[in-house]
Structure 1
Amino acid sequence: MVNKPSKSKIIPIKNKKNGVTYLYNDQYYWDSEKQQTRHKRVCIGKIDSKTGRQIFNQKFLALKARKNPIQGEFPVEITRIGQVILLERIAKTLKLPKILKSTFKDNLDRKILALAFFCTCENSPLNHAGKWLQSHGLVSNPYKMTEIQDILQTITKESILMFFEKWEKILEGNKEKYVYDITSIASYTRHNHFLYYGNNRDKEALEQINLAVTSSKYSGIPLRYIFLRGNLMNLDETHTTLYHFPQQNKDDCSFVLNRIFYSPESIGYLIKNEYSFMIGIPSRSKWTGPFIKNFRNVLEKQESLTDFKEKTIQYHTTRSITDNSTIHLFFDSQWRREQELNLEFLLENCKEELVSNHPIEEHRQLYETYFEVRKNPGGSRKIMRKPHSLQLFSQSQAGFWVVQTNCEEDPEKILKTYQIRNEIERKFDNLKNEEDCIYLQVHDPDIFESRLFIQFIALILSSSLQNSLEKDGSLSFLQSYEQVLKEMESFIRISVSRPPEDVYTTPTETQLLLSESFGFVLPRNKP
């Protein structure tokens, strides 16, 4: 039996072999079996032979940040500064702090940028920002939810418009622009509604936030947004949207449109009035069938390219037979295989539901399409897959998608454009979450517009970070800006109060590579 250890105590012990005096966290206890006092010691640092100062190792200093530090030991503060150092560098390169400071007074510019840093790094409701800002060294005390709400209430529509004017002047060389039609609750990270077998979120009866977002065609940096009364495939809204953007005309803009609002009439209107556009064609459009059939027959002979997720995409380009536009066809074999496995898993669940006689209404169409139920004379039932069920998927358009455009011949640029569109939509996806509606009153129109503006600043930061990442070949092993931020998260400052000193974790090879690529300096420990 071993009794409870004593309170810890720091003791120095000199190593006779190398002459170094090490510091140990010492605890003694009574070992009743051996009838003697024993010690438990952990090395926590050493004494500098020249200055006599105590130098504690990083593991010990990190331990001091726990909520219940051992009594009698000095306080330590840990700050995750890696992500902030990187984002401050990105913001400075874009001149964002300068524009925000000239637009928003009374330190509001710094608060907006700090909240935008949170939105760039975290996919969480804004009311969670308080502790994050403190742990990353942006505020001394965590913001309360009422303080975040006050910040949102202080941002005015006039100030937002003033920011847009100044921001577009900074980027005035980016004359050619994409105008994205964004619905914040919809998801466009997939290409085809059929593949989800009726489960896509776009079909849910939820409130939608329709926006038009402009970005530079070549840099991908967002420039401005406006609210839409409907969507850009509403003919009146398409015609009037450009007037919301100062000094814009249809020759400078290409519309990147929401496929769920596709109609031949709308496409005809755009072509007739010489609007530049690209739009994903929904699978329900029967006219794409012959194009996909021909594409399928020659897949092995088609060229391929690599998308942003390092997946091989086969493609084919052809001209529309009815108007002056181009049809881009794409095929992702990995994606098709994933959807086939998903369908098989779903059908296995459907079979179990039928066997147990607990059908689900949402699966009724699947039951009727894929299963045959036979009743035996004794009253039992036999559930069988229909003979043609295996052919249904092989004949489907899963893995194929189609884009129609009159402004872009390069299929690789089409994929890149929709990658940007997906990222914009994903960034705006969490704006009306339930938590922020309750705690920050985001459902209030004025507060919501301020919340949207902060998300827009975060979008500028993430877009710039992604662009820089893609241009540097030495960082090709990092596929997204999220991975970059994840790599920087582990760089930490440890502040010791007695004696006052800042200690930094040793940078990883990736962190050093990022600092060289983006041009920022990681602080180092004193020798």
Structure 2
Amino acid sequence: MTCIVHHRHTKTGIVYVYESESHWDKEKKRCVCQRKCIGHVDPTTGNVVPNRKKNAPKSSNPIVRSAGCSLLFDPLTEKTGLRTTLKRSFLEEWDKILTCAYYLLSEGTPLCHCEQWSAGTTHPYNATLTSQRISELLSSLSVDKQILFFQNWVKKVSEKEYFALDITSVSSYSELLSSVRYGYNRDGESLPQINFCMLVGEKSGLPVYYERYPGSIHDVSTLKRYLKTLNWLQADHIHLVMDKGLCSLKNISELYASGYKFTLGMSRGLKFVKEVLREVKDTICSYENYQENLGNFHYTSTLIKKWEGHRAYVHVYYDPAKREEDHAEFIHLIHMCEKELTLGEEVAEHNEVYENYFTLTETPKRGRNVVVDTAKVMVHRSEFAGYFVLMSNDVKDPARALEIYRQKDAVEKSFANMKNELDGKRLRVRSEPALTGRLFIQFIAQIIYSEVMKTLRGTELEKKLSVQDVFSEMKILSLVKFPGRKSAMYTEFTANQKKIMELFQINGKT
């Protein structure tokens, strides 16, 4: 292996640059290194100044590019099939899309700074990506163009896969985007927002599809349209996994009508769920219902019910240790809702709580009077606290249903990473076409991020380095091309870089 080595002269302080070539000596049975001085480091600029050949004119400086991130990302995009899918879907833009995604992963700063980064970094586009080109790219990535990619990508990932479906919001300061509306903000911010759904494979951990919609639309009202979207994606073997934020009578009916297999976290506020809990309350704590799985201890009971003529497996889980915690959270919710009603600052997502647990009167003299139904609050503790309910039209075993449901943290991690790690916390675009392109590039970056996270998970290296640490460590690796030499060379690998390359099976040869 050939690499670049820096060595500081102890007397002069000059940093000399050597070309180091190592090979295995069979006779000595050890690794032997041969070094050749090829220049020195300019103390002012930090650039490598190559040695001049005897009687040769002074040559230009070597070309140095940051190359560690592309060394990491390139094989991952090949391994996952992402690069091939992008090439099939975007014949002329695929390299610019990947370059912008690499930039977001490496730097995490707005795309307006990508031009300077691309000038000093190796990447798929292999040229400086100017701000003008980026603006043109964002505006060109229309929904129609993205459809082909999503169809190809879902087919690539979806074979015998469970898919977690969730919704999040991204805030924006822009007043020029028609899809930016005020609504329930999951981060507790008083900013207009855009909501979007994401579908993530539980086994692969890879995002496969996303869709945005105005921030004023509630979660439970989006599922019908999303199910229609899955139809034109032409995806097979889909099993949707959703939390109780998407649970409503209408949505359950829509899921059955769609024909898709699903596992859904149930809201304990539904009359159907309350009846199920009352049915199992007196028998669930028997010894034959006791289970230990996924590090948890609970009692389980499964009922087979009918939902509009369809079979439903309703899995009930009861954790006595969680009962008090559940009730404490419920009391906190009641207290928060009482304050909202008193101040006249109602939240749409709490309407069901207002209706079930409060009486509100208002008179000209006494003003607004809010009364809590304490009897109903105590019923919650005795009948609902500590219980968790899943419904599935496919999974009969309660332990398996719970395992599938808890694996959906893949989508939650994807959302968290998009919002916190990849510059997705604030939208900094001012037109709808640019927003469409910007979110798509964010999505592509998240696919790569998810593959890195999956490879790192559960390894010894994960104890030392986060995903972002891996990116930071790799981007200090440079590729040096000397004038007059055919091949370029990497700078000397650090100990952490060697561990990263070993884990990700990266070949460090140029």
**Aligned match of 2:241:** 256
- 207, 231, 242: which is aligned to 1:222? 207
Query: Does residue 185 of structure 1 match 2:170?
Result: yes
Higher strand share: 2
Structure 1 CA distance, aligned partners of 2:244 and 2:136? Answer: 38
| Paired AA for residue 449 in structure 1 | T
What 5-or-longer segments of structure 1 have no aligned partner? 1-20, 27-41, 67-73, 187-198, 306-311, 345-359, 363-393
**Aligned match of 1:44:** 15
Range moving further from structure 2, 230-239 or 288-297: 288-297
**Aligned match of 1:53:** 37
Offset at residue 142 of structure 1 (A): 6.0
Query: Does residue 125 of structure 1 match 2:115?
Result: no
| Paired AA for residue 155 in structure 1 | L
When residues 222 and 53 of structure 1 are mapped into structure 2, their CA distance, relative to the original with a 3 A threshold, is closer
**Aligned match of 1:511:** 497
Q: Write out per-residue CA displacement over residues 176-215 of structure 1, whole angstroms, 9 at most, x where no aligned residue.
A: 45262423339xxxxxxxxxxxx97366565444444444
Offset at residue 271 of structure 1 (A): 5.2
Matches within 5 A, 1:262-277: 262-264=247-249, 266-267=251-252, 270=255, 275-277=260-262
Structure 1 CA distance, aligned partners of 2:452 and 2:320? Answer: 27
Matches within 5 A, 1:197-346: 201=186, 206-216=191-201, 218-227=203-212, 233-234=220-221, 237=224, 241-242=228-229, 244-248=231-235, 252-257=237-242, 259-264=244-249, 266-267=251-252, 270=255, 275-281=260-266, 287=274, 303-305=292-294, 314=297, 317-320=300-303, 324-327=312-315, 329=317
When residues 132 and 103 of structure 1 are mapped into structure 2, their CA distance, relative to the original with a 3 A threshold, is same
3-state SS of 1:267 partner: helix
| Paired AA for residue 277 in structure 1 | F
Q: Write out per-residue CA displacement over residues 19-50 of structure 1, whole angstroms, 9 at most, x where no aligned residue.
A: xx973575xxxxxxxxxxxxxxx3634889x9
Query: Does residue 420 of structure 1 match 2:391?
Result: no
- 147, 169, 189: which is aligned to 1:161? 147
Contact 1:177 1:253 in 2 (8 A): yes
When residues 297 and 200 of structure 1 are mapped into structure 2, their CA distance, relative to the original with a 3 A threshold, is farther
Report the aligned-residue RMSD.
Answer: 5.5
3-state SS of 1:183 partner: strand
Structure 2 CA distance, aligned partners of 1:398 and 1:448? Answer: 43
**Aligned match of 1:14:** none
Identity %: 20
3-state SS of 2:9 partner: strand
| Paired AA for residue 319 in structure 1 | T
| Paired AA for residue 245 in structure 1 | W
**Aligned match of 1:371:** none
Range moving further from structure 2, 480-489 or 450-459: 480-489
Query: Does residue 456 of structure 1 match 2:456?
Result: no
- 418, 425, 432: which is aligned to 1:445? 432
**Aligned match of 1:174:** 159
Q: Write out per-residue CA displacement over residues 239-292 of structure 1, whole angstroms, 9 at most, x where no aligned residue.
A: 85256434347xx33333353343345436545776533334567679498899
Structure 2 CA distance, aligned partners of 1:93 and 1:507? Answer: 25
| Paired AA for residue 313 in structure 2 | S
Contact 1:62 1:78 in 2 (8 A): no
Contact 1:184 1:425 in 2 (8 A): no
Structure 1 CA distance, aligned partners of 2:154 and 2:444? Answer: 13
Offset at residue 216 of structure 1 (A): 4.3
Offset at residue 111 of structure 1 (A): 1.0
In the superposition, the TM-score normalised over structure 2's length comes to: 0.59
Structure 1 CA distance, aligned partners of 2:147 and 2:267? Answer: 35
Structure 1 CA distance, aligned partners of 2:492 and 2:95? Answer: 27
When residues 451 and 81 of structure 1 are mapped into structure 2, their CA distance, relative to the original with a 3 A threshold, is same
3-state SS of 2:159 partner: coil
3-state SS of 1:426 partner: helix
Q: Write out per-residue CA displacement over residues 423-474 of structure 1, whole angstroms, 9 at most, x where no aligned residue.
A: 332355478765622xxx3xx222222112212222322233334445x867
Offset at residue 419 of structure 1 (A): 1.4
| Paired AA for residue 303 in structure 1 | E
| Paired AA for residue 422 in structure 1 | E
When residues 476 and 134 of structure 1 are mapped into structure 2, their CA distance, relative to the original with a 3 A threshold, is same
Offset at residue 170 of structure 1 (A): 4.3
Contact 2:317 2:388 in 1 (8 A): yes
What 5-or-longer segments of structure 2 have no aligned partner? 1-6, 20-33, 48-59, 172-183, 307-311, 333-342, 346-380
Offset at residue 152 of structure 1 (A): 0.9
Structure 2 CA distance, aligned partners of 1:210 and 1:257? Answer: 16
Structure 1 CA distance, aligned partners of 2:8 and 2:200? Answer: 58
Q: Write out per-residue CA displacement over residues 300-321 of structure 1, whole angstroms, 9 at most, x where no aligned residue.
A: x86253xxxxxx6555543258
When residues 231 and 258 of structure 1 are mapped into structure 2, their CA distance, relative to the original with a 3 A threshold, is farther
**How many residues get paired?**
404
Query: Does residue 93 of structure 1 match 2:91?
Result: no
In the superposition, the TM-score normalised over structure 1's length comes to: 0.57
3-state SS of 1:505 partner: coil
Structure 2 CA distance, aligned partners of 1:46 and 1:458? Answer: 35
Q: Which has the higher contact order (CA 8 A, sep 6+)?
A: 2
Contact 2:119 2:127 in 1 (8 A): yes
Contact 2:302 2:313 in 1 (8 A): yes
